[in-house]
Amino acid sequence: MLSFTCDYNEGAHPLILERLVAVNLQQEPGYGADGFTASAKARIREACGCPSAEVFLLTGGTQTNSTVIATMLRDYQGVVAATTGHIAVHEAGAVEYTGHKVLTLPSRQGKMCAADLSAFLEGFYADGSFDHMVFPGMVYISFPTEYGTLYSREELSAIYAVCGQYQLPLFVDGARLGYGLTSPACDITLPELAQLCDVFTIGGTKVGALCGEAVVFPSGKAPEHFFTMVKQHGALLAKGRLTGIQFDVLFTDGLYFKIAQNAIDRAMELKALFVSKGYDLFLDSPTNQQFVLLDAAAMARLEGKVAYEVWEKRPDGRSVVRFATSWATTPEQIETLAKLL
Amino acid sequence: MLSFTCDYNEGAHPLILERLVAVNLQQEPGYGADGFTASAKARIREACGCPSAEVFLLTGGTQTNSTVIATMLRDYQGVVAATTGHIAVHEAGAVEYTGHKVLTLPSRQGKMCAADLSAFLEGFYADGSFDHMVFPGMVYISFPTEYGTLYSREELSAIYAVCGQYQLPLFVDGARLGYGLTSPACDITLPELAQLCDVFTIGGTKVGALCGEAVVFPSGKAPEHFFTMVKQHGALLAKGRLTGIQFDVLFTDGLYFKIAQNAIDRAMELKALFVSKGYDLFLDSPTNQQFVLLDAAAMARLEGKVAYEVWEKRPDGRSVVRFATSWATTPEQIETLAKLL
Amino acid sequence: MLSFTCDYNEGAHPLILERLVAVNLQQEPGYGADGFTASAKARIREACGCPSAEVFLLTGGTQTNSTVIATMLRDYQGVVAATTGHIAVHEAGAVEYTGHKVLTLPSRQGKMCAADLSAFLEGFYADGSFDHMVFPGMVYISFPTEYGTLYSREELSAIYAVCGQYQLPLFVDGARLGYGLTSPACDITLPELAQLCDVFTIGGTKVGALCGEAVVFPSGKAPEHFFTMVKQHGALLAKGRLTGIQFDVLFTDGLYFKIAQNAIDRAMELKALFVSKGYDLFLDSPTNQQFVLLDAAAMARLEGKVAYEVWEKRPDGRSVVRFATSWATTPEQIETLAKLL
Amino acid sequence: MLSFTCDYNEGAHPLILERLVAVNLQQEPGYGADGFTASAKARIREACGCPSAEVFLLTGGTQTNSTVIATMLRDYQGVVAATTGHIAVHEAGAVEYTGHKVLTLPSRQGKMCAADLSAFLEGFYADGSFDHMVFPGMVYISFPTEYGTLYSREELSAIYAVCGQYQLPLFVDGARLGYGLTSPACDITLPELAQLCDVFTIGGTKVGALCGEAVVFPSGKAPEHFFTMVKQHGALLAKGRLTGIQFDVLFTDGLYFKIAQNAIDRAMELKALFVSKGYDLFLDSPTNQQFVLLDAAAMARLEGKVAYEVWEKRPDGRSVVRFATSWATTPEQIETLAKLL
């Protein structure tokens, strides 16, 4: 059965596997002190245009989010996120498990809006009892969001300006960063993003790696002893080479962006396909996650042939469903789907 | 430079890489619901002789230990370990980070002794103020230990009997399990081990995998909603296939034991080599970690040519050092070392 | 300056102080093993009509809430509360500090509604990805609520029925319980309340004690080793006699209810006063917290003479303010206010 | 039955109760913003000779210790204590519950020794794998210790010097501070103590108060937003006046020291009594806790007439027992004991 359920249905980009095989018996030290990791970090710093950035390679998304958030917050602080933010919903309370509240703001098609953030922060400090409450300690957004949407440069700058006003670090969760940056709707580059936040991640798991998320502190201001806390969070690989090799390959000759571009191209074909067949979009996503409304007849036609994710059942009988493309999606797969719709 | 610093200096056993390549584009669901993981679990259950065992595949050792311990303890409980236990020393306080104390007992060449455990538990409940103290809630041992030593069947049975008397689950950390079970000094089998504890791990990272630890609840009594708590601990891979494929290969045709045997064979050669050259052993390890006393002259001879780990400097000027072999160590590497000593 | 800012502006009911003085030099064991505490617990059990209830005396409200919630939840669970619930807003993230999320439902004048709760729980389990989310593990309501409102017997029964359907314990925060049970609008008694929840608190701090909250498990099902966890949470007094004596006095000859009745009588006078003077009520509270809308002129008249709490500034220039009465409020104080309005 | 089991068998010094009664109906704001608390803090600052000290009033010992320690440590740090330190043994794992390890050093009659501390810290940073371990983040000692012993000025200075060398704050748990400072063996004053540590507590519960521990940051460097974290730890009293009034009275006209002196006088009489009757001391305590060896015959003589605490049964059949005096112990009680021995 053909699957569009997510962007982690396949293994890794073949160049990654080739490299894993090629250097397999080369002896390297553990815990990220290997040469591959050093090279990967250097390439990431270069791609970000941040020569003094500190880069760490972790394994998975939830792990990375909770490690970054817990280590950047003080005990009396929580993290501000949109109600639809991944950390607020689908991470099994990993942030709260580390002792911190997720403070939620309205979600505008998956996005936080600078005006909402500003109003929240102003209201917080205007409340006479704020010292009995959880202090906002950082701001979390995802790029692209859980609904595939993107912040424009203007929107992101506005959020970052509010953060600056209240001295709150801005954390950009880039689990699907490649699919955001290569979208035709994206008006910022990776180096520009690095200037508009205090810490961000470059997702590997969903963009061609077997596993791995790079955490980038663009100005080099990682929390003190971050390495030890990564270990404490169970996020330190003994064979750091595994993530080192992968990010090294992904950031050689722009592979990360090339393979992300494939997902975007396929996603745009997929969206055009649905529209041309008369399906309603749930929202107009510019990235690799496409949200469509399917009725029972359509779902019956795809039954057993094409897999996708159902997000919500609507009173009108239709369902909001997600079709995700990835670095591995082929034009042939889109064509197969076209025939079935 | 030739390295004996640890058993995670190389990548993965070639058969694992072959399989990763072969099935790379096969679409599978995420989060461990893939067919490879299902197959791996079945093979592990079979190898353990536990048809009703529950098996989970996590990524790394510290992560696995803290997840298992935190989810099996109640808030008022701590975990009992030898002072040299990995969780007590080298996991950056990961257990305490989850809110639980590590209660330590004397280490007898890395091992906990049933008599010490029994005395501790008896003393605890005899203390009139025990309800102001951390209750012992489970017992942790490593097999092999951090010093390469092994529990005999009799020793392990004795510990398990004490645990049973106080209804404490016994957790066996098998980060190097293969290197224990294939040691000539080992008098228990994997199915026997599975009968002598409540939960144990089968280490992949140090025995031929890129990453991965299998958690086995032999009687099928995993903590309720363990899956969700694995996610909460940041220990759930989106591409569960990565650990699934690796353990599936490792437990096909006894590969796990075959490659572990190589490490043991090389370790015995290495030990014989040191002894024949007149070096003193720090202790007589029957597994892949060998502890030797090197003086300054010997260390100078190896300088820049052979890497190993220094554990301790002694007043007599000699150092306790560790040489580790692995699935990847070759007879040629031992011969090279022989020429340098 | 006359203060209506809260119900903890004064010390303790004189009978409590008398008793503290009378038994001051009587030697008693510590940590709640004293005779006063035993007597207090017996009286509370009797007042609740629950001979097998387990009763614990803690010190403060936030402390009690976080201790009860943390010890009753499993790691993968959170607590469901209204958005205005005290634990969700004004406890400095104490629940999250113990590792648990507060899952919020709409607040209907401070109350949770059974239909919202039912819809939330049904939706949770209908969501295919619920095992990536925080499980609802208990339900928290306050009685009276933070807005002074009360659940009717029917409303409370409906919530408890939903809890029963999903096997979730119901926790009733009774920080102001006396002021709820003695309200003319209240249609349940203390023994009835005890039948409609799994754990509740009887607030002392706000109802005549210097400090102290009684935690009641009506069916005697306190979490195992609750005593030890109370200590772990820093909630165990060495001189348990302090809370023991206070609750013993409060539950002798119905003192708790008599002094709560005074607060209600004064609150009803205060409400009538505001209405008669033409002030708008923010909501019609039947308990000791009254919420009124004051304009700038009214606030100027009271300036420096009467203290109250400002909750919210409204676009129309008026403010939502709270006037609280207590066991200590006198008719003379209400008259003084009347002259100033 | 006459009790010497502890120093919290009675209520409060009568002057405290008098004052509680006298100001009972005076309206004051909550949460420590009352005038009594302000006065108490001023008096404490004066008694400590630290005009810029920050002072906070909490309720109990375990609560205070875990709040101070958790808020002063970073996630990667633990607290160093003697193996017999209260936080290491009798606080139900409260420190670990907040996520931090207690790192233990040998206990020398209850005391930590500067040389042990120095060796531990030197060894920690000399260990090549220290970044996989819990960093020492602060040092905890108790004054007097759990065995009634005292640090001399020289010993304390030596410890503080080592702390300074490694930039570790020194925390002195003064749950029984009065009984230390008024001991004839004590060679430091309260202002001198305040110069030899970074934070200390002044115990009220055991020295004449119903409850209450004052936390003093002599240089005014409390953790940022300590108030909010006190609330988060459930350690903030709504009626802050309760601790405010008590410490205000205790630090008026040196009451704290006068009543502590009584305990010391009685303790010296008690020690002399045991020695004169031929009993062996377990150790020679200069403070209000006296440790004596009792044989079965002696214990039989006291049975049902005098209560004390048994600490340890010895192989020779004798028991180490503790007799504690307090502010409330009378010369008559010592005489009664004398007749029974």
Buried b (16+ CB within 10 A) or exposed e, C275-295: eeeebeebeebbbbbbbbbbe
Per-residue model confidence as pLDDT tens digits over D229-242: 999 999 999 999 99
Which of C76, C89, C129 is the closest to A133 by Cβ?
C89
d(CA A99, nearest CA chain D) in Å: 9
**What span, in angstroms and rounded, lies between the C-alpha atoms of D97 and A79?**
22
Sign of CA dihedral A163, A166, A169, A175: negative
A99 vs B: CB within 8 A: no
pLDDT band of residue B95 (cuts 50, 70, 90) is: very high
CB contact under 8 A, D131 and A74: no
CB contact under 8 A, D231 and C94: yes
Q: What is the pTM of this model?
A: 0.97
B129 vs D: CB within 8 A: yes
Q: Which chains touch B (3 or more CB pairs under 8 A)?
A: A, C, D
Contacts of B231 in chain C (CB under 8 A): 131-132
d(CA D141, nearest CA chain B) in Å: 19
Instruction: Tell which residue, A337, A279, A284, A286, has the closest CA to residue A308.
Output: A337
Residue A253 burial (C-beta neighbours within 10 Å; 0-12, 13-18, 19+): exposed
**What span, in angstroms and rounded, lies between the C-alpha atoms of C88 and A338?**
48
CB contact under 8 A, D21 and C24: no
Which of A128, A132, A133 is the closest to C310 by Cβ?
A128
CB contact under 8 A, D96 and B76: no
CB contact under 8 A, C229 and B75: yes
Average pLDDT over residues D191-203: 98
CB contact under 8 A, B29 and A3: yes
Per-residue model confidence as pLDDT tens digits over D13-56: 999 999 999 999 999 999 999 999 999 999 999 999 999 999 99
Cα B100 from chain centre: 21
In percent, the amount of chain D with pLDDT more than 90 equals 99
State which amino acid sits at residue B54: E
Whole-number pLDDT of residue A266: 98
Contacts of A131 in chain C (CB under 8 A): 92
Whole-number pLDDT of residue B240: 98
pLDDT band of residue C284 (cuts 50, 70, 90) is: very high
* Domains of chain D in sequence order: 2-8+256-340 (3.90.1150.10), 14-253 (3.40.640.10)
Instruction: Tell me how long chain C is.
Output: 341
What is the pLDDT of chain B when averaged over all its residues? 97
Q: Which chain C residue shows the shortest CA-CA distance from D34?
A: C9
CB contact under 8 A, D132 and A231: yes
CB contact under 8 A, A229 and D70: no
Per-residue model confidence as pLDDT tens digits over B137-159: 999 999 999 999 999 999 999 99
Half-sphere exposure (Cβ direction) of A262: Cα atoms closer than 13 Å: 19
Task: Kindly give the confidence (pLDDT) of every residue in chain A, 341 residues in length, as a single tens digit, with 9 standing for 90 and above.
Answer: 899 999 999 999 999 999 999 999 999 999 999 999 999 999 999 999 999 999 999 999 999 999 999 999 999 999 999 999 999 999 999 999 999 999 999 999 999 999 999 999 999 999 999 999 999 999 999 999 999 999 999 999 999 999 999 999 999 999 999 999 999 999 999 999 999 999 999 999 999 999 999 999 999 999 999 999 999 999 999 999 999 999 999 999 999 999 999 999 999 999 999 999 999 999 999 999 999 999 999 999 999 999 999 999 999 999 999 999 999 999 999 999 999 99
Whole-number pLDDT of residue D45: 98
Give alpha helix (H) positions in B283-330: 296-302
Q: SS3 for A270? A: helix
A97 vs C: CB within 8 A: yes
ipTM above 0.95, yes or no: yes
CB contact under 8 A, A78 and C91: no
Which of A17, A30, A242 is the closest to B24 by Cβ?
A17
Instruction: Tell which residue, A88, A108, A209, has the closest CA to residue A150.
Output: A108
d(CA B92, nearest CA chain C) in Å: 19
Instruction: Tell which residue, B181, B230, B211, has the closest CA to residue B54.
Output: B230
* Cβ atoms of B140 and B110 closer than 8 Å: no
Question: For an interface test with A, which of C74, C87, C96, C130 has the most A Cβ atoms less than 10 Å from its Cβ?
Answer: C96
C276 vs B: CB within 8 A: no
**What span, in angstroms and rounded, lies between the C-alpha atoms of C226 and C204?**
20
Q: Which chain D residue shows the shortest CA-CA distance from B87?
A: D133
pLDDT band of residue D159 (cuts 50, 70, 90) is: very high
Contacts of A222 in chain D (CB under 8 A): none
CB contact under 8 A, A75 and D232: yes
Which of A11, A17, A59 is the closest to B241 by Cβ?
A11
Q: Which chain B residue shows the shortest CA-CA distance from A233?
A: B94
d(CA A168, nearest CA chain B) in Å: 25
pLDDT band of residue D309 (cuts 50, 70, 90) is: very high
Which of B92, B97, B101 is the closest to D93 by Cβ?
B101
The tokens of A224 are what?
């003190």
Per-residue model confidence as pLDDT tens digits over C11-66: 999 999 999 999 999 999 999 999 999 999 999 999 999 999 999 999 999 999 99
Per-residue model confidence as pLDDT tens digits over B269-284: 999 999 999 999 999 9
Give alpha helix (H) positions in chain C: 14-22, 35-48, 61-72, 86-89, 94-97, 114-126, 153-165, 177-181, 190-195, 226-232, 241-250, 255-276, 296-302, 331-340
Whole-number pLDDT of residue B32: 98
In percent, the amount of chain C with pLDDT more than 70 equals 100
Contacts of C231 in chain B (CB under 8 A): 131-132
Q: Which chains touch C (3 or more CB pairs under 8 A)?
A: A, B, D
Average pLDDT over residues C173-182: 98
Which of B74, B132, B229 is the closest to C76 by Cβ?
B229
Whole-number pLDDT of residue C259: 98
Question: For an interface test with C, which of B76, B132, B236 has the most C Cβ atoms less than 10 Å from its Cβ?
Answer: B76
Instruction: Tell me how long chain D is.
Output: 341
**Chain B contacts in chain A segment 221-260 (CB below 8 A):** 228-229, 231-239, 241-242
State which amino acid sits at residue D176: R
Question: For an interface test with B, which of C74, C76, C125, C129 has the most B Cβ atoms less than 10 Å from its Cβ?
Answer: C76
A74 vs C: CB within 8 A: no
Question: For an interface test with B, which of D62, D97, D233 has the most B Cβ atoms less than 10 Å from its Cβ?
Answer: D97
Whole-number pLDDT of residue B64: 98
Contacts of A70 in chain D (CB under 8 A): 75
* Cβ atoms of C46 and D65 closer than 8 Å: no
Per-residue model confidence as pLDDT tens digits over D106-150: 999 999 999 999 999 999 999 999 999 999 999 999 999 999 999
Whole-number pLDDT of residue B80: 98
Q: SS3 for C80? A: strand
What is the pLDDT of chain C when averaged over all its residues? 97
B119 vs D: CB within 8 A: no
